[in-house]
Amino acid sequence: MLEEKLKRTELSEMGEFRLIDHLTEDIKIVNKETIKGVGDDAAVIDNGNYVTLVSTDILTEGIHFDLTYTPLKHLGYKAAVVNFSDIAAMNGTPKQITVSIAVSNRFSVEALDEFYDGLKIACKKYNVDLVGGDTTSSLKGLFISITVVGIAKKDDVVYRNTAKANDLICVTGDLGGAFMGLKLLEREKEVFKADPGIQPDLEGYDYIVGRQLKPEARMDIIKIFKDLKVKPTSMIDISDGLASEIMHICKDSDVGCNVYLDKIPIDPTTNNMAVDFNMAATVAALNGGEDYELLFTISQDNYEKIKTVKEITVIGYITEARDNCYLVANDNSLIPIKAQGWNSFPE
Amino acid sequence: MLEEKLKRTELSEMGEFRLIDHLTEDIKIVNKETIKGVGDDAAVIDNGNYVTLVSTDILTEGIHFDLTYTPLKHLGYKAAVVNFSDIAAMNGTPKQITVSIAVSNRFSVEALDEFYDGLKIACKKYNVDLVGGDTTSSLKGLFISITVVGIAKKDDVVYRNTAKANDLICVTGDLGGAFMGLKLLEREKEVFKADPGIQPDLEGYDYIVGRQLKPEARMDIIKIFKDLKVKPTSMIDISDGLASEIMHICKDSDVGCNVYLDKIPIDPTTNNMAVDFNMAATVAALNGGEDYELLFTISQDNYEKIKTVKEITVIGYITEARDNCYLVANDNSLIPIKAQGWNSFPE
Q: What is the mean pLDDT of residues B299-316?
A: 97
The chain B residue lying nearest A39, using CA atoms, is B132
pLDDT (tens digit per residue) in A177-190 = 999 999 999 999 98
CA gyration radius for chain A?
21
| B145 chain-A contacts, CB cut-off 8 A | 56, 58, 100, 134, 143, 145
Residue B1 sits at the chain A interface (C-beta within 8 Å): no
| B50 chain-A contacts, CB cut-off 8 A | 47
- Substitution target in B53, B87, B147 with the highest count of A β-carbons within 10 Å is B147
Q: Which of 21-80 (A) contact B at CB < 8 A?
A: 22-24, 26-27, 29-31, 33-34, 36-38, 42-43, 45, 47-48, 50, 52, 54-58, 60-64
Q: Which of A116-125, B197-206, B263-272 shows the lowest per-residue confidence on average (mean pLDDT)? A: B197-206
Concatenated DSSP letters of A288-310: T-----EEEEE-GGGHHHHTT-T
Q: What confidence score (pLDDT) does residue A344 get?
A: 62
CA neighbor of A177 nearest in space, from A221, A213, A219? A213
CA neighbor of B146 nearest in space, from B115, B176, B175? B115
Runs of H (alpha helix) within chain A: 11-14, 16-24, 72-88, 109-126, 177-194, 206-213, 219-228, 242-253, 268-276, 281-287, 303-306
Residue B262 sits at the chain A interface (C-beta within 8 Å): no
ipTM of this complex prediction, to 2 decimal places: 0.92
What CATH code is assigned to B168-336? Answer: 3.90.650.10
Residue B100 sits at the chain A interface (C-beta within 8 Å): yes
Classify each residue of A327-338 as buried b or exposed e, where b means 16 or more C-beta atoms within 10 Å of its C-beta: bbeeeeeeeebe
Q: What is the mean pLDDT of residues A26-38?
A: 95
What is the rounded distance in angstroms from the CA atom of residue A278 to the CA atom of residue A94? 39
What is the rounded distance in angstroms from the CA atom of residue B52 to the CA atom of residue B33? 10
What is the rounded distance in angstroms from the CA atom of residue B191 to the CA atom of residue B76? 26
Domain ranges of chain A: 32-156, 168-336
What is the rounded distance in angstroms from the CA atom of residue A74 to the CA atom of residue A82? 12
What is the rounded distance in angstroms from the CA atom of residue A213 to the CA atom of residue A181? 8
Residue B221 near residue B312 (C-beta atoms within 8 A): yes
Question: What pTM did the predictor assign?
Answer: 0.94
Max Cα distance, chain B (Å) = 75
Q: What confidence score (pLDDT) does residue A123 get?
A: 98
pLDDT (tens digit per residue) in B200-215 = 778 889 999 999 999 9
Tell me whether residues B140 and A141 touch, CB distance under 8 A: yes
Query: Any residues with CB less than 8 A from the CB of A170 and at least 6 apart, and which?
Result: A232, A295, A296, A297, A298, A306, A312, A313, A314, A315
- Decide the pairing of beta strands B294-298 and A93-103: unpaired
Q: What confidence score (pLDDT) does residue B14 get?
A: 84
Q: Which of A202-211, B215-224, B252-261 shows the lowest per-residue confidence on average (mean pLDDT)? A: A202-211
Architecture of domain A32-156: 2-Layer Sandwich (3.30)
Q: What is the mean pLDDT of residues A250-255?
A: 96
Q: Which of A277-281, A332-336, B202-206 shows the lowest per-residue confidence on average (mean pLDDT)? A: B202-206
The chain B residue lying nearest A105, using CA atoms, is B11
Residue B37 near residue B29 (C-beta atoms within 8 A): yes
Q: What confidence score (pLDDT) does residue A258 get?
A: 97
